[in-house]
Structure 1
């Protein structure tokens, strides 16, 4: 949601927001976008993370310059270097080099007030600590700091959280949540839950029209303030557009399938080949982001280390119809382009919200965590997508024929036309929420933290 800009008034000038993200891309950019929204509401916001993750978040901020927001500043925390974490369970389809970096964020609350929060508390009437719930120690630290209070900002869907908590009666068709997470994930989450008792409530990047039934099942105060997205392009991005945007400019309207699996998941070499064969056989134009999953320090990644598992001469055969990106791609610009007609996605929540806001239907290929529940929400509840695979199907490998069938269904069938119409209606609902339910929820949160 893009809130109405407001100048500093007497109450808001007494409040500072300390934003504490979890150090992986999908969580960093989610909290950074919310930090921008709060800064544009007239609040002073301090975004606290390591130097590495500050550079990662700001360099990948799409459509805006984080250093050009007057009320937004950055504080560098001395976090350990993020190295590869636990691997996926064997039955899951991918093995990202980094998973949630729990070892980079302490799980035990400190025994004394946070020095940064304590310093801010000396200069402001109230410190609102908005943290990723995976960094729940921030909530405990706030409880030990005068004039401070804590709020969570979840980067997963309400639907996905309900599923992972085992509360979703309507999600029984999904596999058990234990099959959707990595080794050690449940134990790591459990260790971090206790400090969440200090939170005053949790904010969600969603809106009532799509997740109201799941928000009602949550055992805590919840504000649905989404969609929180960056929408205004930087002038320099308009001048020097990514090559994939220039390629999209040459394609027919509503003709291209965008393919991307996010930043922390990697397909196996055989799976990449099967996906390529399915895309080729579908006959549909496509733009495919084919890159390695992020490592602990994305700034140290070797861009020359490209995935080498495409079929022989594949790029020659699809030349003109297919475009492959091997670096960071401007996803919002791609989804908002008039040539983009569909999105083959892992169903991370950021990607789902961006697709909903742009009215682009999804071919769902979930892998882990909240993604199976998001896929269920998109295909079975909202009706704006088709499933490429379900997490509980066989060994998880998707054959080329299944890819071809799903792509044709989404892009060139009567079913595809129906889901596209639903996607457009949901786009309208998302934009209505900006000035409606989400606006009301955000104002409720602002009134609480700005109270006398």
Structure 2
């Protein structure tokens, strides 16, 4: 491992702002936090991406960004991967969540001490340290509350509506509006251990300065055939769907909508686009 990746530079002059990104070590979460890291780094702000060694390796290996050179402005910190048992999956489990991964989730709690050590190392190098952590890493970054020049922001990789809908149901409260038709319920998706893990994170979110949610105003979602979510999809069904996508009028319309969505999304992140304006606002806030 390059020493440059492991130690922050100690200049005689403190940096104005340093950002520390703490992702949850699951690929879809790792990638989104790394994408956000690259965006923040593009404003010439020092960014530190801190995760388990396995997590950092996965993030770099499968990163789907358009410019990997962005890594040149990001410092990576590899904590020892916490040990955990890895039982085989139970195909007959009544719970939809892959419960055999629960032990790996709980192992992330052991990253609290390494993260705290990193915070104490970096905090003297900047006037302000901003910690952006995955929603599921709130417990791990709880020691930010003890360091005066650190403020934290929770990052949630799911859309706002999904977050609200799921949390409302997990708290056992009825939805205040008519439940949207076609959306799957979280009932049976989470076991008690996972719910306890999520609840633990919620308890430590009270000290955050704000929440960042990965969303885009240009994106529209269509939900179809969710009533079949518990069925095993046969290969012939997949082949037929691909054939329809490639050769039918419906497939042509789907491809056209995808192209239009791509154009709208690219405009959103360009200068003057809604996503870029929101990011500019966040950067202005943390560098004020």
Hey, what does 2:6 align to over in structure 1?
A: none
Hey, what does 1:433 align to over in structure 2?
A: 268
Hey, what does 1:122 align to over in structure 2?
A: 124
Hey, what does 2:200 align to over in structure 1?
A: 191
Hey, what does 1:254 align to over in structure 2?
A: none
1:94 CA displacement: 8.6
CA distance in 2, matches of 1:438, 1:32: 17
CA distance in 2, matches of 1:191, 1:449: 27
| 2:130 counterpart of 1:105 | no
Hey, what does 1:160 align to over in structure 2?
A: 162
CA distance in 1, matches of 2:181, 2:88: 27
CA distance in 1, matches of 2:246, 2:103: 34
| SS of residue matched to 1:126 | strand
CA distance in 2, matches of 1:185, 1:153: 19
Hey, what does 1:447 align to over in structure 2?
A: 284
CA distance in 1, matches of 2:211, 2:128: 18
CA contact (8 A) 1:45 1:73 kept: yes
Distance 1:85 1:201, change over 3 A: farther
CA contact (8 A) 1:107 1:192 kept: no
CA distance in 1, matches of 2:68, 2:269: 22
CA distance in 2, matches of 1:31, 1:141: 20
CA distance in 2, matches of 1:394, 1:154: 24
1:393 CA displacement: 2.5
1:63-102 mapped onto 2 (5 Å cutoff): 63-65=66-68, 69-84=71-86, 87=89, 90-91=93-94, 98=101, 101-102=104-105
| 2:212 counterpart of 1:203 | yes
Distance 1:24 1:14, change over 3 A: same
CA distance in 2, matches of 1:138, 1:95: 23
| SS of residue matched to 2:38 | helix
CA contact (8 A) 2:123 2:150 kept: yes
Aligned length: 263
| 2:180 counterpart of 1:177 | no
| Structure-1-length-normalised TM-score | 0.52
1:158 CA displacement: 2.6
CA distance in 1, matches of 2:246, 2:192: 36
CA distance in 1, matches of 2:38, 2:231: 39
Give 1 or 2: higher helix fraction: 2
1:134 CA displacement: 0.5
For residues 264-302 of structure 1, give each alpha carbon's deviation from its aligned partner in whole angstroms, at most 9, with x where no partner exists: xxxxxxxxxxxxxxxxxxxxxxxxxxxxxxxxxxxxxxx
CA contact (8 A) 1:19 1:31 kept: yes
For residues 33-91 of structure 1, give each alpha carbon's deviation from its aligned partner in whole angstroms, at most 9, with x where no partner exists: 2112111111101111122222222222345446x644311223244135437957735
